[in-house]
Amino acid sequence: MADVRIRPMNELDIEGICRVDEKITGRYRPEVWERRIAYYIRRDPDSSQVAESDGRVVGFMLGEVRGGEFGLEEPTGWVEFFGVDPGAREKGIGRRLIEALLGHFRAKGAHVARTMVAAQDKDIAAFIAAMGFAPAPVTALEKRL
C-alpha cells in the first residue's frame, strides 16, 4: 500500500466513504453518507478526517466539538462515525485518524473526547480502549418504542 495521508474530509470524499462503508457493512448507502458528510462539513470542515492512499479513501473518522448535550456542559469532542477499509487494517490508520481528530478537538478548546460503542462491537471497543478511552461516568439508556 502506498503512503497513507490523513487530511480533513471534503465533499469529494463521499463516494470513497460509501465504498469503505460498503466493504464493511455490505450495503451501498450514498444518501446516508451524503447527509452525514454535509452535516459535518457545514459545521466544521476542519474536524472530520479521512485517510487517503493512492488517491483513494481507505478510512474515515467523523466527529466534532459540541457542548451542552446530556447535561455535559463542557466542550466535548464527539467521535461519531469511523471506518477503515478491511484491506487497509493493521497499518495504524485508525490510530492516525483519531490522533488527528483529537488534535483538532484540543485546538477547538475541548478537554475531553467521548464516544459510544455498542456492546457487541468488541473490535471497536478494543480499538477505542487502545486509544486511551475509558468507561465514562455516564450511562447509555434506551427504551424500545
* Binding stretches for other proteins (CB under 8 A): 10-12, 14-16, 19, 22-23, 28, 30-31, 34, 37-38, 41-46, 55, 66, 107-109
Three-state SS at 62: strand
The least CB distance from residue 118 to other proteins, in Å, is: 23
Our CB check for other proteins shows the closer of 66 and 96 to be 66
The least CB distance from residue 94 to other proteins, in Å, is: 22
Question: 20 CB contacts (<8 Å, ≥6 apart)?
Answer: 57, 58, 59, 60, 83, 84, 85
Q: Residues in the chain, how many?
A: 145
* All cell numbers assigned to 134: 475509558
The least CB distance from residue 127 to other proteins, in Å, is: 24
